[in-house]
Amino acid sequence: MNQAELFRSLHQQERPLLLGNAWDVTSAQAYQEAGFQAVATSSAALANILGYEDGEKIPFHLLHDMVLRMKQKITVPFSVDLERGYGRNEQQIVRNVEQLVEAGIAGINLEDSVSRQQKLLSPIADFQRVISAVAERLNKNGLSIFINARTDAYLFKVERPLEESMKRVKAFEEAGANGVFVPLLAAEDEIRAVVDSTTLPLNVLAWSTLPNFARLTELGVKRVSLGSTVFRQLQRQMTARINEIKNSGSVSSLF
């Protein structure tokens, strides 16, 4: 069983796969050492440590280099948040995915947003073509990677986000996705509705109102991503500690 096949099987467990989102080699190793079954990148955290804003502001070659460094230091399946694919058309996106497959990456996230600043979602048919292009090329070349298709209907607060999400999730399934990701989906009845609308494993994002793992298991969720939450918590702690050192006139808080 290769890494992609193992990663796919982790989405069929009774309890949801808890995915640790890393931003460098050290954080990726920390998740693995803590017993996480799989690790992924956090696009926001990775962008921040390199001095970029989130939203494909990192040149793809820098993302690829960081991914290689992280992948070489862990043995659990590793997935990459590819955002919109880092390409202007399906062909460029497919080439980027192929490079990740060659690096041994087990999964990718592809999202249906056009602009996070303007909170615009891609037309469903357009995003379907992207998913289909990636899936067809991989199948043609005998390659394997877990395609997690993300919709930002809740994140962008579109009108009737549940209905929009279910419509998109069904379209992603038809296009060849292996899993679906709906960030900020947290209400129990809405989680159940999305689970019932697809045969694909549902991925949710860590959020303040998200039910606990036991309840998510009962609702049928198959994956929970931490996103940038751990990174941002550590940032806040670092800022507080730095200010404490400066204001106290002592380094004793470091020891």
List, in sequence order, every residue forming a beta bridge with 132; answer none if it has no partner.
none
Angle at 36 between CA 32 and CA 40, to 5 degrees: 80
CB atoms within 10 A of CB 64: 18
Into how many domains does the chain fold? 1
pLDDT for the residue numbered 119: 78
Q: Which two tokens stand for residue 13?
A: 């467990």
Q: pTM for the full model?
A: 0.94
Asked if the structure places residue 235 within a domain, the reply is: no
CATH number at residue 200: 3.20.20.60
pLDDT for the residue numbered 6: 97
Percent of the chain with pLDDT over 70: 100
Range of the domain at 67: 3-228
pLDDT for the residue numbered 114: 86
What's the pLDDT tens digit per position in 139-188?
Answer: 998 989 999 999 999 999 999 999 999 999 999 999 999 999 999 999 99
Measured CA to CA, the distance from residue 129 to residue 172 in angstroms comes to: 10
Measured CA to CA, the distance from residue 25 to residue 165 in angstroms comes to: 34
Amino acid (one-letter) located at 210:
L
pLDDT for the residue numbered 116: 73
Q: Is the Cβ–Cβ distance between 2 and 208 less than 8 Å?
A: no
Q: Give SS3 for 121.
A: strand
What's the pLDDT tens digit per position in 212-230?
Answer: 999 999 999 999 999 999 9
255 or 32: which leads in pLDDT: 32
What's the pLDDT tens digit per position in 26-65?
Answer: 999 999 999 999 999 999 999 999 999 999 999 999 999 9
DSSP string, 57-107: -S-HHHHHHHHHHHHTT--S-EEEE-TT-SSSSHHHHHHHHHHHHHTT--E
Asked if the structure places residue 59 within a domain, the reply is: yes
What's the pLDDT tens digit per position in 2-12?
Answer: 999 999 999 99
pLDDT for the residue numbered 168: 98
Q: How confident is the model over 127-138, as a mean pLDDT?
A: 96
Asked if the structure places residue 106 within a domain, the reply is: yes
What's the pLDDT tens digit per position in 65-101?
Answer: 999 999 999 999 999 999 999 998 999 999 999 999 9
Ramachandran sector of residue 81 (left: φ over 0; alpha: ψ -120 to 50; beta: rest): beta
Is the model's pLDDT at 115 over the cut of 90?
no
Asked if the structure places residue 170 within a domain, the reply is: yes
Taking each helix axis as running N to C, give the angle between helix 124-140 and helix 161-175, from 0 to 180 degrees, rounded to the nearest 10.
30
Q: How confident is the model over 99-124, as a mean pLDDT?
A: 91
Q: How far is CA 95 from CA 98, 99, 104, 134, 198, in A?
A: 5, 6, 15, 9, 28
Asked if the structure places residue 144 within a domain, the reply is: yes
Residue 175's nearest CA partner among 133, 217, 143, 204 is: 133
Give the range among 57-66, 99-108, 112-121, 236-245 with minimum mean pLDDT.
112-121
User: Within a 13 Å sphere around the CA of 53, how many CA atoms are in the beta-carbon half?
Assistant: 3
Mean pLDDT across the chain, nearest whole number?
Answer: 96
Asked if the structure places residue 243 within a domain, the reply is: no
pLDDT for the residue numbered 1: 82
User: Within a 13 Å sphere around the CA of 45, how many CA atoms are in the beta-carbon half?
Assistant: 24
Asked if the structure places residue 238 within a domain, the reply is: no
Asked if the structure places residue 73 within a domain, the reply is: yes
pLDDT for the residue numbered 118: 74
Helix (H) or strand (E) holding 203, with range, is strand 202-205
